[in-house]
Amino acid sequence: MQPSSCDTFVALPPSTVGQRIIFGKNSDRPCDEVQEVVYFPAKDYEAGKKVECTYIEIEQVAHTYAVVLSKPAWLWGAEMGANEHQVCIGNEAVWGRESADDEEALLGMDLVRLGLERADTAERAVDVIAELLEKYGQGGSCMEDDSGFTYHNSFLISDRKEAWLLETSGKYWAAERVEAGFRNISNEYNITTKIDKEHPEMREYARNKGWWDGKTKFNFATVYSFTTTARIEAAGSRYCEGKKMLKKSNGHITAERMMDILRDKDSGINMEGMFMTTGSMVSVIPSDPALPGVHYFTATPDPDRSVFKPFIFVSNITQLKETTSPSYGPDDPVKKKPRFQSKPDRKHELFVKHELVAAIIDSYKDRGKKITESMRKLEKEKMTQMEEVLSHGVKEPDSLVNLFSGSVQEEMAVYSKH
């Protein structure tokens, strides 16, 4: 399987403006797949409770944190998201020497959600995901049509003070701490010789497989990849292009700059075609714990034709109905055997309206230009409002309960005007 999807980025001081961490991700998925943005409040559970993930049930923990997720509508897990402690996680498909398992287990997207629900720091999220891998494994089709599309996963995880890169191959894994500067990942192993945490049997497993002689300096990407790390740096790759853009903006990376990178089509980061960017996220996390993080989501395909809308964790938030797809419960084909006999309509309200507007933008140059300009104006207004919150905190939390939903409604009002 050729790597064909997703880019995740993180920038930390001194690469950013102010004492902030900027996290960004494009979720590149099949072009007919709907991605929803949903919120789940913190919750306590009784002992012995189970949680039903995409394919398997696992043990639930006593308490889960509040999360906001951008997720393919057909599955339980998420491509990217954040929690109330300002932990952000995005995952990437990776392929290596070890075959990815098609036996149903936890998907990488399940691990994203579980990490967010169970970890209050980035390092703790690494531990949570590693523990779940050891206990339940990873595997199963990552597409709704059961195409046998399987992969291992890498994760970029950040919080208020640092970031972690976690890369997996089956149950084996390595993790690298990132304390300053910037980092991006695409669809190839990226950890080399700086390994800050690892599966205790990861090196011995590679030695027994003949991938490592046990003497030369251990390089995770070289040992577990199909090819050497030289391929990772190959000119023209999305990874290389993303790294160049981060480097060019080093010292003045902002949310706006991260959005520009996610919108870049020449690099392939904003992907088009059978696999395309179906959802995007940018988070701004101040180092000061007294200040809130702001999480921007599109909930629609192609960030160049979408509005990044803000979300802030406050009490009393209800479900984000305009970006929540229809639920089919036990009648959902994903939960039935045999599966995938039919694919139900999963389009949420914003997706439907955006789909119509995207067609107008494609077909009518002048009209499309006006719509795009109005969308950018709305986005700029929201970001200006959020800058006040990022700098001075939340004075009236109740005023932000409907921040994301209200922004979605304003976006749809823009569509209606044109």
DSSP 368-394: HHHHHHHHHHHHHHHHHHHHHHHHH--
Q: Which amino acid is at 54?
A: T
d(CA 121, CA 138): 22
Contacts of 147 (CB under 8 A, 6+ apart): 141
Task: Report yes or no: 398 and 316 within 8 Å, Cβ to Cβ.
Answer: yes
**CA angle at residue 61 from 143 to 134, to 5 degrees?**
60
- What Rg, from alpha-carbon coordinates, does the chain have? 20
* Residue 241 main-chain phi, psi, to 5 deg: -65, -40
Place of tokens 């300096």: 217
Residue of 6, 53, 88, 142 marked active site: 6
The verdict on whether 142 is a catalytic residue reads no
Amino acid at 187: N
- Tokens linked to 83: 């929690």
Task: Please report the beta strands in 203-274, taking only residues with DSSP state E, as ranges in sequence order.
Answer: none
Are 164 and 123 a contacting pair, CB within 8 Å? yes
Dist CA 321 CA 190 (whole Å): 38
Tell me if 257 sits within 8 A of 15, measured CB to CB: no
Position 381, amino acid: E
Spatial distance between the Cα atoms of 20 and 291, rounded to a whole number of angstroms: 10
Phi then psi for residue 27, to 5 deg, are -100, 110
d(CA 326, CA 346): 6
Residues serving a catalytic function are 6
